Amino acid sequence: MFSKVLVANRGEIAVRIMRALEEMGIASVAVYSELDRDALHVARADEAYNLGEGPAAENYLNVQKILEVAKRAGAEAIHPGYGFLAENAPFAQACEDAEIVFIGPPPSAIEAMGSKTTARELMQAAGVPIVPGTTEPVATPADALEIAKKEIGFPVAVKAAGGGGGKGFRVALTEEELEGAFEGASREGEKFFSDPTVYLERYLPDPRHIEVQVLADRHGNVIHLGERDCSIQRRHQKVIEESPAPEWVVDEALRAHIGEIGVEAARAVGYVGAGTIEGLLAPREDGSAEYFFLEMNTRVQVEHCVTEMTTGVDIVKEGIRAAAGEELAVHQADVVLRGHAIECRINAEDASKNFAPAPGKIGAYSEPKGPGVRVDSGVGAGGEVSPMYDPMVAKLIVWDADRAQATRRMLRALEEYEIEGLKTLIPFHQALLQTEQ
Please state, in angstroms and rounded to a whole number, the distance separating the CA atoms of residues 22 and 178: 52
Of 133, 121, 128, 138, give the one whose Cα is nearest residue 157: 133
User: Active-site residue among 299, 345, 374, 403?
Assistant: 299
What are the distances in angstroms from CA 5 to CA 60, 77, 248, 401, 416?
A: 16, 5, 43, 36, 35
Which helix or strand (DSSP H or E) is residue 316 part of? helix 315-323
Find, among 334, 383, 404, 378, the residue nearest to 14 by Cα.
Answer: 378
C-alpha distance across the termini of the chain, in Å:
45
Is residue 425 a contact partner of residue 233, using CB atoms and an 8 Å limit? no
What's the rounded Cα separation, in Å, for the pair 191 and 68?
29
What are the angstrom distances between the C-alpha of 274 and each of 154, 215, 339, 414?
36, 5, 22, 29
Q: Please, which residues bridge with residue 201 across strands?
A: 133, 157
Instruction: Say if residues 420 and 364 touch (Cβ distance below 8 Å).
Output: yes
Q: For this structure, is 187 an active site residue?
A: no
Of 74, 73, 113, 72, give the one whose Cα is nearest residue 92: 113
Name, in order, each residue with C-beta under 8 angstroms of 389's C-beta and a sequence gap of 6 or more: 10, 11, 56
For strands 101-102 and 237-243, give the pairing: unpaired
Strand partners for 341:
243, 399
Residues designated catalytic:
299
